[in-house]
Chain A
Amino acid sequence: MDFKKYEKVKYEAIKLAQENKKVEPNILKTFWFPDQEEIRLIEVENDIPDSSGNDIEVFYFGQSEHVTLNSAIGLIRSNEIGKLQLPENWGSWGVAEELEVNK
Protein backbone atom coordinates (compact mmCIF):
# COMPACT_ATOMS: atom_id res chain seq x y z
CA MET A 1 0.00 0.00 0.00
CA ASP A 2 1.22 3.50 -0.88
CA PHE A 3 1.39 5.16 2.54
CA LYS A 4 1.05 8.72 1.21
CA LYS A 5 -2.07 7.88 -0.78
CA TYR A 6 -3.50 6.03 2.20
CA GLU A 7 -2.92 9.03 4.48
CA LYS A 8 -4.49 11.43 1.98
CA VAL A 9 -7.61 9.28 1.64
CA LYS A 10 -7.84 8.93 5.42
CA TYR A 11 -7.49 12.69 5.89
CA GLU A 12 -10.28 13.32 3.38
CA ALA A 13 -12.40 10.56 4.94
CA ILE A 14 -12.17 12.20 8.37
CA LYS A 15 -13.06 15.58 6.87
CA LEU A 16 -16.10 14.14 5.11
CA ALA A 17 -17.17 12.19 8.20
CA GLN A 18 -16.93 15.33 10.33
CA GLU A 19 -18.98 17.30 7.79
CA ASN A 20 -21.61 14.57 7.76
CA LYS A 21 -21.79 14.53 11.54
CA LYS A 22 -22.31 18.30 11.60
CA VAL A 23 -25.20 17.98 9.15
CA GLU A 24 -26.59 14.83 10.74
CA PRO A 25 -25.95 14.83 14.51
CA ASN A 26 -27.81 11.50 14.83
CA ILE A 27 -24.83 9.65 13.35
CA LEU A 28 -23.60 7.41 16.16
CA LYS A 29 -20.46 5.91 14.64
CA THR A 30 -18.47 6.17 11.43
CA PHE A 31 -16.35 3.33 10.07
CA TRP A 32 -13.70 3.94 7.45
CA PHE A 33 -12.63 1.13 5.12
CA PRO A 34 -9.13 1.86 3.80
CA ASP A 35 -8.58 2.29 0.08
CA GLN A 36 -5.97 4.23 -1.86
CA GLU A 37 -8.35 5.94 -4.26
CA GLU A 38 -11.83 6.24 -2.82
CA ILE A 39 -13.30 7.33 0.52
CA ARG A 40 -15.30 4.40 1.89
CA LEU A 41 -17.52 5.08 4.86
CA ILE A 42 -20.20 3.21 6.74
CA GLU A 43 -22.17 5.54 8.97
CA VAL A 44 -24.33 4.27 11.78
CA GLU A 45 -27.62 5.92 12.55
CA ASN A 46 -30.79 4.46 14.02
CA ASP A 47 -33.31 6.85 12.49
CA ILE A 48 -33.13 5.24 9.07
CA PRO A 49 -34.90 2.21 7.57
CA ASP A 50 -33.37 -1.15 8.40
CA SER A 51 -31.33 -2.69 5.59
CA SER A 52 -32.96 -4.99 3.08
CA GLY A 53 -31.36 -8.42 2.85
CA ASN A 54 -27.82 -9.18 3.98
CA ASP A 55 -25.88 -6.62 1.95
CA ILE A 56 -24.99 -3.04 2.73
CA GLU A 57 -26.29 -0.77 0.04
CA VAL A 58 -23.59 1.76 -0.75
CA PHE A 59 -24.12 5.00 -2.66
CA TYR A 60 -21.42 6.61 -4.76
CA PHE A 61 -20.53 10.28 -5.10
CA GLY A 62 -18.11 12.19 -7.30
CA GLN A 63 -15.52 14.76 -6.31
CA SER A 64 -16.54 18.23 -5.29
CA GLU A 65 -15.04 21.49 -4.17
CA HIS A 66 -14.92 20.32 -0.55
CA VAL A 67 -14.42 16.60 -1.03
CA THR A 68 -11.66 16.13 -3.55
CA LEU A 69 -11.91 12.35 -3.87
CA ASN A 70 -14.64 10.02 -5.03
CA SER A 71 -16.59 8.58 -2.14
CA ALA A 72 -18.90 5.72 -1.29
CA ILE A 73 -21.21 5.83 1.72
CA GLY A 74 -23.40 3.20 3.32
CA LEU A 75 -25.88 3.82 6.13
CA ILE A 76 -26.77 1.15 8.63
CA ARG A 77 -28.46 0.82 12.01
CA SER A 78 -26.39 0.05 15.11
CA ASN A 79 -27.73 -3.50 15.36
CA GLU A 80 -26.38 -4.19 11.86
CA ILE A 81 -22.71 -3.42 12.63
CA GLY A 82 -20.50 -6.34 11.67
CA LYS A 83 -23.41 -8.41 10.44
CA LEU A 84 -24.08 -7.16 6.95
CA GLN A 85 -22.09 -8.10 3.88
CA LEU A 86 -19.75 -5.36 2.69
CA PRO A 87 -19.43 -4.33 -0.97
CA GLU A 88 -17.01 -6.32 -3.09
CA ASN A 89 -13.37 -5.27 -2.65
CA TRP A 90 -13.99 -3.52 0.68
CA GLY A 91 -12.42 -6.33 2.66
CA SER A 92 -13.90 -7.50 5.95
CA TRP A 93 -15.28 -5.69 8.98
CA GLY A 94 -11.93 -6.45 10.58
CA VAL A 95 -10.17 -3.83 8.45
CA ALA A 96 -12.62 -1.10 9.40
CA GLU A 97 -11.35 1.79 11.48
CA GLU A 98 -13.79 3.72 13.59
CA LEU A 99 -13.24 7.44 13.05
CA GLU A 100 -13.39 9.97 15.84
CA VAL A 101 -15.72 12.49 14.28
CA ASN A 102 -16.59 14.53 17.36
CA LYS A 103 -13.13 15.99 17.81
Chain B
Amino acid sequence: MSWKEAYIKQAKSDFMIYKEFSKTRKPICQQLHYLQMATEKLAKSYLCSLQNGHPKITHFALVKFLKICKRQPDIRAKLGFENKHTRFSSYIDSLLPIADMIEQLAPVGTKLDRPNPEYPWISNKEVIPPIDYDFSNFKDKHIQMSKFLKFIHKLIDVS
Protein backbone atom coordinates (compact mmCIF):
# COMPACT_ATOMS: atom_id res chain seq x y z
CA MET B 1 0.00 0.00 0.00
CA SER B 2 1.33 3.44 -0.86
CA TRP B 3 1.43 6.37 1.60
CA LYS B 4 -1.37 7.99 -0.40
CA GLU B 5 -3.61 4.90 -0.18
CA ALA B 6 -2.89 4.52 3.53
CA TYR B 7 -3.82 8.14 4.25
CA ILE B 8 -7.05 7.81 2.26
CA LYS B 9 -8.00 4.60 4.07
CA GLN B 10 -7.45 6.21 7.46
CA ALA B 11 -9.31 9.38 6.39
CA LYS B 12 -12.30 7.23 5.37
CA SER B 13 -12.30 5.52 8.75
CA ASP B 14 -12.05 8.83 10.64
CA PHE B 15 -14.87 10.31 8.54
CA MET B 16 -17.11 7.29 9.21
CA ILE B 17 -16.59 7.82 12.93
CA TYR B 18 -17.39 11.52 12.52
CA LYS B 19 -20.65 10.68 10.73
CA GLU B 20 -21.64 8.16 13.36
CA PHE B 21 -20.84 10.60 16.17
CA SER B 22 -22.84 13.41 14.55
CA LYS B 23 -25.79 11.15 13.79
CA THR B 24 -25.91 9.89 17.37
CA ARG B 25 -25.31 13.40 18.76
CA LYS B 26 -22.10 12.64 20.59
CA PRO B 27 -20.33 15.64 22.22
CA ILE B 28 -19.36 18.29 19.70
CA CYS B 29 -15.67 18.09 20.67
CA GLN B 30 -15.56 14.39 19.73
CA GLN B 31 -17.31 15.07 16.43
CA LEU B 32 -14.94 17.89 15.53
CA HIS B 33 -11.91 15.89 16.59
CA TYR B 34 -12.67 13.14 14.07
CA LEU B 35 -13.68 15.61 11.37
CA GLN B 36 -10.42 17.52 11.79
CA MET B 37 -8.41 14.28 11.62
CA ALA B 38 -10.31 12.98 8.57
CA THR B 39 -9.86 16.19 6.59
CA GLU B 40 -6.22 16.50 7.52
CA LYS B 41 -5.47 12.96 6.34
CA LEU B 42 -7.49 13.35 3.17
CA ALA B 43 -5.59 16.53 2.33
CA LYS B 44 -2.29 14.84 3.12
CA SER B 45 -3.14 11.92 0.85
CA TYR B 46 -3.15 14.36 -2.07
CA LEU B 47 0.03 16.03 -0.88
CA CYS B 48 1.64 12.54 -0.94
CA SER B 49 0.98 12.24 -4.63
CA LEU B 50 2.55 15.61 -5.29
CA GLN B 51 5.68 14.85 -3.33
CA ASN B 52 5.83 11.18 -4.26
CA GLY B 53 6.23 10.08 -0.67
CA HIS B 54 5.25 10.81 2.90
CA PRO B 55 3.78 14.30 3.27
CA LYS B 56 5.36 16.92 5.48
CA ILE B 57 4.36 16.55 9.12
CA THR B 58 1.96 19.42 9.60
CA HIS B 59 -1.61 19.75 10.77
CA PHE B 60 -2.17 22.60 8.35
CA ALA B 61 -2.71 20.88 5.01
CA LEU B 62 -6.43 21.37 4.38
CA VAL B 63 -6.65 24.97 3.16
CA LYS B 64 -3.51 24.54 1.07
CA PHE B 65 -5.00 21.40 -0.44
CA LEU B 66 -8.28 23.15 -1.34
CA LYS B 67 -6.36 25.89 -3.10
CA ILE B 68 -4.40 23.25 -5.02
CA CYS B 69 -7.70 21.51 -5.89
CA LYS B 70 -8.82 24.52 -7.89
CA ARG B 71 -6.00 23.90 -10.35
CA GLN B 72 -6.52 20.13 -10.68
CA PRO B 73 -8.63 19.17 -13.73
CA ASP B 74 -8.87 15.53 -12.62
CA ILE B 75 -10.31 16.43 -9.23
CA ARG B 76 -12.64 18.95 -10.86
CA ALA B 77 -13.94 16.26 -13.23
CA LYS B 78 -14.30 13.65 -10.48
CA LEU B 79 -16.47 16.05 -8.49
CA GLY B 80 -18.76 16.65 -11.47
CA PHE B 81 -17.50 20.08 -12.56
CA GLU B 82 -15.87 19.05 -15.82
CA ASN B 83 -15.30 22.10 -18.08
CA LYS B 84 -16.85 24.37 -15.45
CA HIS B 85 -13.69 26.09 -14.25
CA THR B 86 -15.25 29.26 -12.89
CA ARG B 87 -18.06 27.49 -11.05
CA PHE B 88 -15.61 25.03 -9.54
CA SER B 89 -13.31 27.83 -8.46
CA SER B 90 -16.18 29.73 -6.81
CA TYR B 91 -17.37 26.54 -5.18
CA ILE B 92 -13.95 25.81 -3.66
CA ASP B 93 -13.65 29.44 -2.50
CA SER B 94 -16.98 29.07 -0.70
CA LEU B 95 -15.53 26.17 1.32
CA LEU B 96 -12.39 27.97 2.47
CA PRO B 97 -13.77 29.77 5.57
CA ILE B 98 -15.08 26.53 7.10
CA ALA B 99 -11.96 24.65 6.02
CA ASP B 100 -9.86 27.24 7.81
CA MET B 101 -11.96 26.92 10.98
CA ILE B 102 -11.55 23.15 10.93
CA GLU B 103 -7.84 23.37 10.24
CA GLN B 104 -7.43 25.73 13.20
CA LEU B 105 -8.88 23.06 15.50
CA ALA B 106 -5.62 21.12 15.38
CA PRO B 107 -3.64 21.44 18.61
CA VAL B 108 -0.32 23.18 18.00
CA GLY B 109 2.85 21.97 19.75
CA THR B 110 3.01 22.21 23.52
CA LYS B 111 1.51 25.69 23.82
CA LEU B 112 -2.10 24.79 24.50
CA ASP B 113 -3.70 28.18 24.76
CA ARG B 114 -6.59 27.98 22.34
CA PRO B 115 -9.73 25.88 21.95
CA ASN B 116 -9.21 22.55 20.26
CA PRO B 117 -11.29 19.36 20.41
CA GLU B 118 -8.55 17.08 21.74
CA TYR B 119 -6.55 18.54 24.66
CA PRO B 120 -7.38 20.87 27.57
CA TRP B 121 -6.08 24.42 27.15
CA ILE B 122 -5.60 27.40 29.42
CA SER B 123 -7.52 30.63 29.09
CA ASN B 124 -7.45 33.47 31.64
CA LYS B 125 -5.66 31.17 34.11
CA GLU B 126 -8.46 28.63 33.80
CA VAL B 127 -7.84 25.16 32.40
CA ILE B 128 -10.66 24.09 30.09
CA PRO B 129 -11.27 20.54 28.81
CA PRO B 130 -12.77 20.32 25.30
CA ILE B 131 -15.82 18.47 26.65
CA ASP B 132 -16.84 21.63 28.58
CA TYR B 133 -16.54 23.93 25.57
CA ASP B 134 -19.45 24.45 23.17
CA PHE B 135 -17.53 25.37 19.98
CA SER B 136 -20.34 27.80 19.30
CA ASN B 137 -18.59 29.19 16.22
CA PHE B 138 -19.57 25.97 14.43
CA LYS B 139 -23.15 25.78 15.65
CA ASP B 140 -24.96 28.13 13.32
CA LYS B 141 -23.13 27.18 10.17
CA HIS B 142 -25.49 24.46 8.95
CA ILE B 143 -25.36 25.18 5.25
CA GLN B 144 -21.66 25.97 5.14
CA MET B 145 -20.88 22.78 7.07
CA SER B 146 -23.24 20.71 4.89
CA LYS B 147 -21.51 21.94 1.74
CA PHE B 148 -18.10 21.25 3.19
CA LEU B 149 -19.10 17.78 4.42
CA LYS B 150 -20.59 16.91 1.06
CA PHE B 151 -17.28 17.87 -0.57
CA ILE B 152 -15.30 15.69 1.86
CA HIS B 153 -17.71 12.78 1.44
CA LYS B 154 -17.53 12.96 -2.35
CA LEU B 155 -13.77 13.36 -2.43
CA ILE B 156 -13.30 10.36 -0.15
CA ASP B 157 -15.60 8.37 -2.44
CA VAL B 158 -13.68 9.17 -5.60
CA SER B 159 -10.17 8.98 -4.13
Contacts and interface: CB of A to CB of B under 8 A. Distances in A.
| Contact size range, B | 20 to 34
Contact of B145 (A16, A43, A61): A61
B144 to A, nearest CB: 7
| Contact size range, A | 20 to 34
A60 interface: yes
A73 interface: yes
Interface string A42-62: 010001111111000101111
A65 B150 contact: no
A73 B154 CA distance: 16
Given A52-B157, A59-B149, A47 B142 contact: no
B143 interface: yes
Contacts of B111: none
B80 A64 contact: no
Given A47-B90, A48-B147, A64 B153 contact: no
Interface of A: 16, 19-20, 23-24, 27, 43, 47-53, 57, 59-62, 64-67, 70-71, 73-75, 77
The 8 closest A-B pairs by CB, nearest first: A64-B139, A50-B80, A20-B143, A49-B154, A49-B79, A52-B157, A60-B22, A73-B146
14 contacts: A19-B140, A19-B143, A24-B94, A43-B146, A52-B157, A53-B157, A57-B153, A59-B146, A59-B150, A61-B139, A65-B136, A73-B146, A74-B146, A75-B146
